[in-house]
Structure 1
């Protein structure tokens, strides 16, 4: 069984309303991108291994990954998220090293779907349709007037017009 160890996250003792924190939004969990803000509400009772869930003053909800300085929260509040992402675990990075920011396009979040494969029955029916549509049609002439030529359906419709009053 794979037991992944989560990095240490702040506890409920340090995450209080008014504290400045770095959180991971639900949409950014796969990338680990963090945003800074001031805590308005605590949504998780007690500690949580992936971080305490909070609501920031601007209404965003996410899990606290680290405590932030007040200056980084004010710059994050002044500059809303524009789709750029930070690699790794946030502003302080790993072992105190600052990680470079990188721009990610929307295509980084889109999963490519696999083309559906047809089953045996569908392949057989599709090949029959192709053979029928490419098969040459026989032309016949009208047995009543002998002037009209066409396929069997068209000739039968034409013959019916001869006997209408």
Structure 2
């Protein structure tokens, strides 16, 4: 079955997309196109951003009889870090210059230094902060 063309995939269209992480399994999700990201036709499908923020390639158009919205699972919010080693070279320094003491570094509050230590905010409520494992556990609580 051929994938839809740029004439068919327009903002507001109901579509079935395959997320990049689901390419090996072929699992598709439904949604409404917010933005078309591919300029022309593509053999594996036109890349789009849905209104809920997910990005993937359009596999087919949705018919009007299907449910417009599906329940979004935890996997839509939690992503694998991809093995990147963040801040490993800056341990002990905290990303501060040598001329700064602890009092100067603390007066900055929460800036880009939090990223080096892996402090993240809950993507669901935006209020809970902690390391990656703590936030993953907290996010799971939103879906229980």
**TM-score normalized with structure 1 length:** 0.43
Q: Rg: which structure is higher?
A: 1
